[in-house]
Amino acid sequence: MKQHLLFTLSGIMLSAMLCAQEASPLPSKMLVKVSPQHFIASTLQVGIEHFNSDFSKSWNFSIGLRNQGNNQNSYSDEVRGGEIDLQFRRYVRPLQQFSSRKNRTYSQGVYFGPFINGGFYTVDNLNTYTWMSIDQNGQSIPKTSTYGSKYETQHFAAGFTIGLQRTFWEVLTLDAFVGGGLRATNFTLIAGDRNDIYNGLLDPGFTGIFPRIGFKVGIAL
């Protein structure tokens, strides 16, 4: 009788464990992600997201490297540098499995969380042009002038985002988010005129409130 009861309890525990494994929203607690929209700014941003045991919280860490050459035909800046980003996410709807109308299984969750961000960039928009000057003897003399500036920036930012994450084909994820934050930037002028430092929303020299909207594609490892 005791042996029968022991076997029954063991079977129940084993079934519960198997069900828990089948119900896992991801095959792994770690995702490796890439941010496609950063390619527009000549930036490669990759990161990882690591979940807790019940997929209700996670840490998201990413590194972005920017290497943008100077194209004088389009008056673009030469930008070199990088930044790091750290975010804690709390899933108000933890990642859970759902079934579509076609009986396809997917996982989905909704989260919010604060983030901090810091980075360092070197920006060079120095340009030269040659023009002809007439001296007192009426001779043409070529002269060269420089305009623009070269400077370094160091920034720190903090804010929050809310987002939705969903799986496709079990191991791929799409992470869409929206939010904003506040950014402070420090300048160090190397050469040129400080008035030629650009501080628009997409420039390394930006200071102020900024939006954070985008998406990331990830894969479970």
pLDDT surpassing 60 at residue 125: yes
Give the pLDDT confidence score for residue 17 in this predicted structure. Answer: 41
pLDDT surpassing 50 at residue 210: yes
* Number of alpha carbons in the 13 Å side-chain half-sphere of residue 198: 17
> Whole-angstrom Cα distance, residue 90 to residue 161?
11
> Whole-angstrom Cα distance, residue 82 to residue 85?
10
Tens digits of residue pLDDT in 170-202: 889 999 999 999 999 998 888 877 776 777 888
Q: Is residue 216 a contact partner of residue 46, using CB atoms and an 8 Å limit? A: no
> Whole-angstrom Cα distance, residue 211 to residue 15?
47
* Short-list 84, 122, 86, CA closest to 205: 122
Taking residues 132-146, report their average pLDDT: 72
* Short-list 91, 95, 65, 93, CA closest to 79: 65
* Short-list 114, 86, 85, 109, CA closest to 97: 109
Instruction: Quote the Cα angle for 45-46-50, to 5°.
Output: 140
Name the H helices within the chain.
2-22
Instruction: Quote the Cα angle for 29-32-36, to 5°.
Output: 140
126 confidence band (pLDDT: 50, 70, 90) = confident
Which domains occur in the chain, in start order?
A: 2-220 (2.40.160.20)
Length of the chain: 221
DSSP class per residue in 121-145 = EEEE--EEEEEEEE-TTS-EEEEEE
Tens digits of residue pLDDT in 20-66: 344 567 777 899 999 999 998 889 999 999 999 889 999 999 999 99
Instruction: Quote the Cα angle for 24-29-35, to 5°.
Output: 115
pLDDT over 90, % of the chain: 47
Instruction: Quote the Cα angle for 34-36-40, to 5°.
Output: 135
Q: What's the whole-model pTM score?
A: 0.76
